[in-house]
């Protein structure tokens, strides 16, 4: 067995476990309190950011497994959609999740917590559509 391929597969499995863990945490603790309780809101944002990071890492690893150099997150998603590895709808959701994560991290445009609150459940739900 190619050691590099084995390592890549192991990393994909590790990232999938991280993604599942983050999504399960969000699903278990997400409530309207996110809007009023700063600690819970920041915890949800952090878990969401880590879920998005794991999904982006999975895309990069899968792209590399297809003998293509990993690029930026959006290019990796486009590459996988173009080759039919992931459906276009999932690709759009991954890009949207990535954009929201970036806004949360950098607090672009004074991030509106209500927008994040209404977006996060649907976007984390999209992660369930990742090919297994």
Q: For the chain, which residues make up each domain, given as ranges?
A: 3-126
* More confident call, 126 vs 129: 126
Amino acid 46: pLDDT:
95
pTM: 0.89
Tens-place pLDDT, residues 46-100 = 999 999 999 999 999 999 999 999 899 999 999 999 999 999 999 999 999 999 9
Average pLDDT, the chain: 90
Look at the block and give the residue holding tokens 């999209």: 126
pLDDT at 109 over 60: no
What is the arithmetic mean of pLDDT over 111-130?
A: 87
Burial (CB count <10 Å: 0-12, 13-18, 19+), residue 61: buried
Amino acid 1: pLDDT:
46
CATH class as words, domain 3-126: mainly alpha
Amino acid 91: pLDDT:
96
Percent of the chain with pLDDT over 70: 91
3: confidence class by pLDDT, cuts 50, 70, 90: low
CB contact burial 31-51 (16+ within 10 A = b; e otherwise):
eeebeeeeeebeebbebbbbb
Q: From residue 53, give the alpha-carbon distance in Å to each of 6, 38, 50, 65.
A: 22, 22, 5, 18
Residue 102 structure tokens: 């970036």
């Amino acid at each position: 067995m190619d050691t590099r391929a084995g390592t890549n597969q192991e990393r994909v499995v590790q990232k999938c476990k991280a993604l599942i863990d983050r999504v399960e945490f969000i699903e278990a603790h997400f409530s309207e309190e996110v809007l009023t309780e700063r600690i819970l809101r920041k915890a949800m944002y952090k878990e969401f950011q880590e879920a998005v990071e794991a999904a982006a890492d999975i895309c990069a690893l899968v792209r590399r497994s297809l003998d293509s150099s990993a690029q930026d997150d959006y290019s990796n998603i486009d590459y996988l959609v173009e080759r039919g590895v992931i459906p276009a709808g999932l690709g759009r959701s991954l890009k949207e999740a990535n954009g929201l994560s970036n806004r949360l991290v950098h607090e672009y445009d004074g991030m509106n917590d209500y927008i994040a609150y209404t977006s996060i459940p649907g976007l984390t739900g999209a992660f369930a559509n990742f090919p297994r």
